[in-house]
Amino acid sequence: MRPRAASWFGAAAAAAAAVAIALLPLTLSDYHRSQGALVAVYFVAILALDIVTGYTGQISIGHGAFMAVGGYTTAILLHHHWWTSATGALHTIWTLPAAALVGFGAGLVVGLPALRFHGVYLALTTFAVALAVPQLAKNYSHFTGGTQGLSLPAHNGLWLYRLGWIVAGVAFVFAWLLLRGRTGRAFRAIRDSEVAAASSGVTLALYKTLAFGISAAMAAVAGSVYVLVNNFVNPDVFGLTLSLYVLIGAVVGGLGSLWGVLAGAAFVQLLPIGLTSGPLASSEDVPVIFGAVVIAVMAALPLGAAGFVQTALRFASRTRQSSTTP
Amino acid sequence: MTAALSTLRTPWRRVALGQWLVAALLAAVVVFLVVGSLQSSLFLQQTISGLANGGIYASLAVALVLIYRATEVINFAQGAIATFTTYVGWQLLAWGFHYWPMFALTIALAFVGGFVCELVAIRPVERRGNVLTVVIATIGLLILLEGLIGRIWGNEVKFMPSPFPARIYHLGGAAFSLQDLGTIGISIAAVVVLWLFFRFTKVGLAMRAAAVRPAAARLVGVRVSWMLSLGWGLAAALGAVSGLLAAASPSVLLQPSMMDGVLIYAFAAAVLGGLESAAGAVVAALLIGVLLSLLSSYVSWVTPALLLPVAFVLMLVVLLLKPTGLFGRTRVRKV
C-alpha cells in the first residue's frame, strides 16, 4: 500500500470509528454507557503509555500513579470546593486541564531519574512510583480522605460517555499530531537507538523527559475521568492492578501503533465484563479466564492486535501485487 | 569482542571507585549495626527481626534473579506462585501432615509447579515474542493464579502455624524469638543449598552455561529450553520457602495477596543487588529488611503507610549513584 493510500485508509477508518462511537450510546443502557466511558478512560491511559513505551521505548509499569495524580487533583478540587462554589458540569470539566498540568509536573519529576536508568531498572523505578503514590494518598489524609476516600457528585451515563470519548478524541488527535512531526521522529529515534539518536542531534534529556511529561499529563486526564465515572476515589482505586491492566492493554493492542490502543482498551475493560455477563463463567472465574486469555494472546499475537493487522495487510498487498504483475 | 576490548580500555580508576564505594558503604552499615546493637538491646532486637524479614525477601529475590539471569524477564508471577504453594502447604496440613514433611513435600510440589508453569504459560510465548511479551505473560499468570487461589480456597484469611516454638530467649537484655532466628537460618540455608547446586553439580553448570551463552551451550549438548524450565522449577521451590516462612510469621496472614508486599521488597532487593547477582540480592534483601525495621521503630514520622515510599526513595538514591545496582556490572552500550 502506498503511503498516500494508507493515510486515506487511516482517515476513513478514524471517521468510521468516530461515527460508531458517537452512535453507540443510543442503543445502550445507562450502566453500559458508563462502562463505555471506562473504555475511553483505558483508551487515553493506554495511549499515554504507548507514547512513552511504544514510541520512545521507555518501559513504564507505573502509569496508574499518574492516573492517581490526575484523579486526586480532580477529586480534591471538587470535593473541597476550592475550584468553585458551584458544582456545575462546566466547572467539573475545567478540573481536567488542571489535572493535566499537575500530571505533566509529576511526569517531569519521574522522567528525570529516567535519564539515568535503562530498561529493567527504569521499569522497576516506575513500578516503585506506582506503589508509592497510593501510599502517599493514604498518609496525607486531610487532603485525600485517606483510606476512606472522597466521594464526588454523580453524573449520568450519557454525560460520562460523551465526556470520556471527547477527551479520548482530543487525546488521539493530539497524539497523532505530536507523533507525526519532529517530536515523534525524535521519540522513535530514541526508541530505536539512543546512541544513534544522540549522535544525530536529538537531545536525549529533553525528549525523554518531554515524553514522560506528555504521557503523564494524558494519563492524569484519564485518571480524572476515571474518578468522575466512579464518583469516588480512594487509594485502592489506583492500586497496582490498574497499572498492570494499562500495560496489558498497551501490549495486547500493539505497542507503537495508535490503532492498537482501541483494541487494547476494549480488551482490558470489556473482556472481564463480557465474561461475567455470559452464561459460562461466574464472577469468581473471571480472573482465571482473563489471565489465561492474556497468556494465549501473547502466545498467538506477540506484536498485539496492531501487529497482526499489519502482517495481514502486508500479506494481502503482496498477494495482490503478485497476481497483477505477470 | 568489541565489548570486551572497550571494558579493557575503561580507566581502571572508574571501575575500582564504584566497587570501593560499595564496599565502604557495606562496611559502614555493618559497623553501624554492630555498634548500635552493642549500645542498645532494642536496636539489637529490631536488627534481628529485620534480618528475619530480609531473609524472606532474600529467597524470593534470588528466585527473581534466577529467572532474570536466564531470560532477562522479570517474573511478576513469582509472588503469586509462592502464595499458591503456601496454600498447598496449608491444605496438606489440613489433611493431617506434620509440619516438616509438609514443608519438604510443598517444596517438591512447587518445583513441579514452576516447571509446569514455564512449560505451559511461558514457553509458547517465548518462542515468538520478545522480553516484554513474556513479562505480560507473567502478569497474566499472576492474575490467573490469584484468581485460582480465590476459586479453590476462598478469599478469607487462613491461619498457618509456625514450626518454631513460641519461646523467647534472653541474652543480655535483648529478647530473641526462635521464630526470627529460624527464619534467618532456613532462608540463608535455602540460598546456600542453591548456590552449592549451581557450583558443584553438572546440571547446575549446564544451567549457568545456558543462561550466559545459550548458543554455545546448545553446541556442547545442553538442552537450553529444559534448563529454563528447570530454572523456573528451582525459582518456584525457593519461592515456596519464602512463602512458607512468611506465612509462619505472626505478622503475616495467609490470604491471596499475602506475597504482594514481599514481592515488592524482593524486587527492590534484586534491583539493588544488580539483578544478575544472587549474592547481591541476598545482601540487598537483608539490608532492606533491617532498614525497614529500624525506620519503623526509630523514625517517628515514618508511619506504616510511608514506609514503602521512604524505602523506595532511599533505593532510588542508591540507584542514582550506581544505576546498575550495588553488584551489577556496567554495560557498554552499543549502537
Complex ipTM, two decimals?
A: 0.85
CATH at A311: 1.10.3470
Task: Tell me whether B151 touches chain A (CB under 8 Å).
Answer: yes
Q: Do B139 and A248 touch (CB under 8 A)?
A: yes
When mean pLDDT is compared across A306-315, A316-325, B222-231, B265-274, the lowest value belongs to A316-325
Kindly list the distances between the CA atom of residue A109 and the CA atoms of A102, A299, B263, in Å, as whole numbers in the listed order.
11, 36, 25
Q: Which residue has the higher pLDDT, B138 or A28?
A: B138
Nearest to B60 by CA among B250, B215, B187: B187
Selected for mutation to probe chain B from A298, A301, A308, A311 (highest B CB count within 10 Å) is A298
pLDDT classification of A325: cutoffs 50, 70, 90:
very low
Q: Which of A117, A118, A298 sits opposite B133 (nearest CB)?
A: A298
Task: Compute the nearest-CA separation of B157 from chain A (Å).
Answer: 17
Q: What is the pLDDT of residue B244?
A: 93
Q: Does A122 score more than 70 pLDDT?
A: yes
Strand partners, B175: B170
CA-to-CA dists, residue B314 to B21, B199, B295, B321, angstroms = 16, 33, 12, 11
CB contact under 8 A, A288 and B128: no
Residue A199, min C-alpha distance to chain B (Å): 10
Of A193, A284, A298, the CB nearest to B335: A193
Could you tell me the residue range of the domain that residue A222 belongs to?
Answer: 28-324
CB of B33 within 8 Å of a chain A CB? The answer is: no
Does residue A19 form part of some domain? Answer: no
Nearest residue in chain B measured CA to CA from A115:
B320
- Most A-contacting residue of B120, B135, B139 (CB-CB within 10 A), to test interface: B139
How far apart (Å, rounded) are the C-alpha atoms in residues B318 and B312? 10
> What percentage of chain A exceeds 70 in pLDDT?
92
User: What does the pLDDT average to over B274-289?
Assistant: 88
Nearest to B234, CA basis, from B264, B208, B215, B265: B208
Q: How far is CA B252 from the centre of its chain?
A: 17
* Residue given cell 544472587 in the structure block: B278
SS (H, E, C) chain B: CHHHHHHHHCCHHHHHHHHHHHHHHHHHHHHHHHHHHHHCHHHHHHHHHHHHHHHHHHHHHHHHHHHHHHHCCCCCCHHHHHHHHHHHHHHHHHCCCCHHHHHHHHHHHHHHHHHHHHHHHHHHHHHHCCHHHHHHHHHHHHHHHHHHHHHHHCCCCECCCCCCCCCEEEECCEEEEHHHHHHHHHHHHHHHHHHHHHHHCHHHHHHHHHHHCHHHHHHCCCCHHHHHHHHHHHHHHHHHHHHHHHHHCCCCCECCCCCHHHHHHHHHHHHHCCCCCHHHHHHHHHHHHHHHHHHHHHCCCCCHHHHHHHHHHHHHHHHHHCCCCCCCCCCCCCC
What angle is formed at CA B149 by the lines to CA B306 and CA B50, rounded to 5 degrees? Answer: 35
Whole-number pLDDT of residue B304: 77
- What's the pLDDT tens digit per position in B69-99? 888 888 999 999 999 999 999 999 999 999 9
d(CA B122, CA B228): 10
pLDDT in tens, B225-269: 899 999 999 999 999 999 999 998 877 888 888 888 888 899 889
What pLDDT, in 10s, does the model give residues A54-90? 899 888 888 999 999 999 999 888 877 655 545 555 6
Distance CA B60, CA B238 (A): 7
pLDDT, position A277: 77
The pLDDT score that the predictor gives to residue B330 is 61
Q: Is residue B176's pLDDT more than 80?
A: no
The answer to the question of residue A176 being in a domain is yes
Domains of chain B: 2-321 (1.10.3470)
Asked if the Cβ–Cβ distance from B309 to A302 is below 8 Å, we say no
Q: What is the pLDDT, as a whole number, of residue A1?
A: 46
Domain assignment present for residue A5? The answer is no
SS3 per-residue string spanning chain A: CCHHHHHHHHHHHHHHHHHHHHHHHHHCCHHHHHHHHHHHHHHHHHHHHHHHHHHCCCCCCCHHHHHHHHHHHHHHHHHCCCCCCCCCHHHHHHHHHHHHHHHHHHHHHHHHHHCCCCHHHHHHHHHHHHHHHHHHHHHCHHHHCCCCCEECCCCCHHHHHHHHHHHHHHHHHHHHHHHHCHHHHHHHHHHHCHHHHHHCCCCHHHHHHHHHHHHHHHHHHHHHHHHHHHCEECHHHHCHHHHHHHHHHHHHHCCCCCCHHHHHHHHHHHHHHHHHHCCCCCHHHHHHHHHHHHHHHHHHCCCHHHHHHHHHHHHHHHHHHHHHCC
Q: Do A294 and B150 touch (CB under 8 A)?
A: no
Mean pLDDT for all residues in chain A: 85
pTM of the predicted structure, to 2 decimals: 0.87
Q: Which residues of A touch B132 (CB under 8 A)?
A: 59, 251, 255
Task: Note the pLDDT tens digit of each residue in A282-304.
Answer: 777 888 889 999 999 999 888 88
Say yes or no: B309 contacts chain A, CB-CB below 8 A.
yes
Nearest to B144 among A124, A251, A287 (CB): A287
| A223 within domain boundaries | yes
How many domains does chain A fold into?
1
Q: Of residues A92 and A108, which shows the higher confidence score?
A: A108
Determine the Cα–Cα distance for residues A79 and A101; give it in Å rounded to an integer: 19
Average pLDDT, chain B: 85
Q: Residue A82: count other Cβ atoms within 10 Å of its Cβ.
A: 9
In chain B, residues 242-271 whose CB comes closer than 8 Å to chain A: 260, 264, 267-268, 271
Cell 525495621: give the residue. B293
Window 54-113 of B, Cβ < 8 Å to A: 68, 72, 74, 76
β-bridge pairing B168-171 and B174-177: antiparallel
Query: What pLDDT is attached to residue B10?
Result: 47
Residue A4 falls within a domain, yes or no?
Answer: no
The mean-pLDDT minimum among B108-112, B127-131, B190-194, B228-232 falls in B127-131
Q: How many CB atoms lie within 10 A of CB A130?
A: 26
pLDDT: which is higher, B330 or B113 = B113
Q: Residue B174 pLDDT > 80, yes or no? A: no
